[in-house]
Amino acid sequence: MKIGVVTGAYHPDVGGVETHARRLCAALVAAGDEVEVLTQHGVGTDETIDGVLVRRFPLTVAAPNYRFSLALWRYLRDHAGRYDVLHAHSYHALAALPAALTNDTPLVFTPHYHGTGHSRLRRALHPIYRPVGRRLVARSNRLICVTHAERELLERDFPEAADRIVVIPNGTDPATFVGRCGAEPADEPGVRILCVGRLERYKRVDRVIRAMRHLGDDHRLDVVGSGPARDELEQLARRLGLVDRVRFHGRLAEDAFAGRMAAAAAAVSASAHEAFGMAVADALAAGLPTVASFIPAHRELAVMAGSGVPLWLVNPDDEAALADALRTAASTARADLGRHPLPTWSDVVLETREVYANVAPRVRLIQQSGAGASER
């Protein structure tokens, strides 16, 4: 199959959608498909990552939350027919719209839907955007949700799409962090807690920083990721006198991130909204004891992971309870990496390719060695 993946941003940009798209694309290439990523950036470039051709189209509007590329719209209008399937990502980014509104190529849409905006302005604009979003949903031949919790939100707001929605959980790569040496030393002093994700207010990293006051001075917090909330989070750490105990790493290269994972005693995600919770899934796949917010996506992930997995779900607004859970997690031994039942990206790509084949009649799949190949 020849697949065009449309997304608002792509690696090395950091975020849940970016990570999802990169891992899916790499797995599709490994399964024998030809994949091109169509995305937006400050400067237009073409490059190959993981065997995937990444076409970056220059931004017409560079506002952080409303990025828009007219060049991407024009390209899809003129060239969408070269793909067997278009796969667009994120209801909350404008890049998915040209995939839906400029052509009639079969369209699969993964909305990564939260059901709301993540600032006062974005929450106010969310219902105004709904008619446009409805056109995007109506145009999609299939919609892929990553949890049943996300599906319930999508069906609540777009009930007409119910019979076109399938649930395919995100995958994990259990071996990703095993046996790798990072650029950062793995023997730093202190009990290290890892918090990974884009630094947006809705991720509630501020709750984790505040909870550090209730832990012993030997506990350290490693915050990995970038985003608009970084400055205020650093200011909060300074005001609370935690500069020596909270370290902001920004984006990390893969080996350096593997070193952070290896050094960590526990991981934490206090996010208020997630379609899935990839940071939590990755931590569990690495056997890392993990504390997560008690939101629907994390609760569903806990069920998928099964009993005996070192996962504590808490209300991050309760600082003492969050600190107690972090203390317990950090003193718990890592889990057996071979025992968790979470799906891998090989599992995900098999199900996703079946969706592609169902919406693109001219494509049929030939299964080979569990991964599959395609033939026209």
Do 18 and 155 lie in one domain? The reply is yes
Q: Give residue 143's pLDDT.
A: 98
Region label for 75, one of left (φ > 0), alpha (ψ between -120 and 50) or beta (otherwise): alpha
What CATH number does the domain containing 357 carry?
Answer: 3.40.50.2000
Do 153 and 118 lie in one domain? The reply is yes
Do 159 and 196 lie in one domain? The reply is no
Tokens read off for 17: 């959608």
Query: What DSSP state is assigned to residue 266?
Result: E
Q: Please tell me the total count of domains within the chain.
A: 2
Do 287 and 351 lie in one domain? The reply is no
Do 20 and 166 lie in one domain? The reply is yes
Do 162 and 202 lie in one domain? The reply is no
Range of the domain at 239: 191-330
- Asked if the structure places residue 291 within a domain, the reply is yes
Do 237 and 355 lie in one domain? The reply is no
Q: Give residue 370's pLDDT.
A: 45
Non-local CB neighbours of 294 within 8 Å, separated by 6+ positions = 313, 314, 315
Do 162 and 206 lie in one domain? The reply is no
Q: Give residue 338's pLDDT.
A: 58
Q: Give residue 253's pLDDT.
A: 84
- Asked if the structure places residue 336 within a domain, the reply is no
Q: Give residue 29's pLDDT.
A: 96
- Asked if the structure places residue 339 within a domain, the reply is no
Do 268 and 351 lie in one domain? The reply is no
- Asked if the structure places residue 251 within a domain, the reply is yes
- Asked if the structure places residue 9 within a domain, the reply is yes
Do 98 and 245 lie in one domain? The reply is no
Non-local CB neighbours of 371 within 8 Å, separated by 6+ positions = 30, 31, 32, 346, 349, 350
pLDDT in tens, the chain (376 residues): 999 999 999 998 877 889 899 999 999 999 999 999 999 998 999 999 999 999 999 999 877 667 889 999 999 999 999 999 999 999 988 889 999 999 999 999 999 998 655 455 455 555 666 788 899 999 999 999 999 999 999 999 999 999 999 999 999 875 555 444 444 444 577 899 999 998 999 999 999 999 999 999 999 999 999 989 999 999 999 999 999 999 999 988 888 888 899 999 999 999 998 989 889 999 998 889 999 999 999 999 999 988 888 999 999 999 999 999 999 999 999 877 555 678 889 899 999 999 999 998 765 554 444 444 433 3
Do 155 and 7 lie in one domain? The reply is yes
Non-local CB neighbours of 197 within 8 Å, separated by 6+ positions = 15, 16, 203, 205, 224, 225, 269, 271, 279
Q: Give residue 264's pLDDT.
A: 95
Q: Whole-prediction pTM value? A: 0.81
- Asked if the structure places residue 27 within a domain, the reply is yes
Do 322 and 234 lie in one domain? The reply is yes
